[in-house]
Amino acid sequence: MPKLKDDTITEKLYYRMGEVSKLIGVAPSLLRFWEKEFDCLKNIEKNRKGDRLYTAKNIEDLKMIFHLVKEKGYTLSGANEYLGGYVNEKDKKMEIVKSLEVLKKFFEELKQNL
């Protein structure tokens, strides 16, 4: 994946298309195209003028799309499916972590009551 020039990606709430284009290393027209093709990019906000405002999450999604399409050779539909599964997998893992935290709390309380 392309490296960021610095690690300031979380310092701003929103990034403009030109900034994101340079960070990812693709033309703005490709960003607009990917926005139409990928479900994870459907939530990109726009200001009153209609300029796109990208969040850090959007940038991470774009970096993953770049990696899958440009470096791994995935088709657009294949990358979209992969990203959908990746999101579902993350959700499942978060549910598991939450369940384990509940169990941990239960066992700690049980241990204190012994």
Q: Residue 40: inside a domain, yes or no?
A: yes
- Domain residues for 69? 15-112
Question: Does this model's pTM top 0.85?
Answer: no
Q: Residue 10: inside a domain, yes or no?
A: no
CATH number, position 107 = 1.10.1660.10
How many structural domains compose the chain?
1
User: Is 91's pLDDT higher than 80?
Assistant: no
Q: Residue 20: inside a domain, yes or no?
A: yes
Q: Residue 8: inside a domain, yes or no?
A: no
Q: Residue 1: inside a domain, yes or no?
A: no
pLDDT in tens, 47-72: 999 999 999 889 989 999 999 999 99
Q: Residue 31: inside a domain, yes or no?
A: yes
Helices (H), the chain: 17-24, 28-37, 56-66, 76-112
pLDDT in tens, 68-84: 999 999 999 888 888 88
Q: How much is the pLDDT for 6?
A: 47
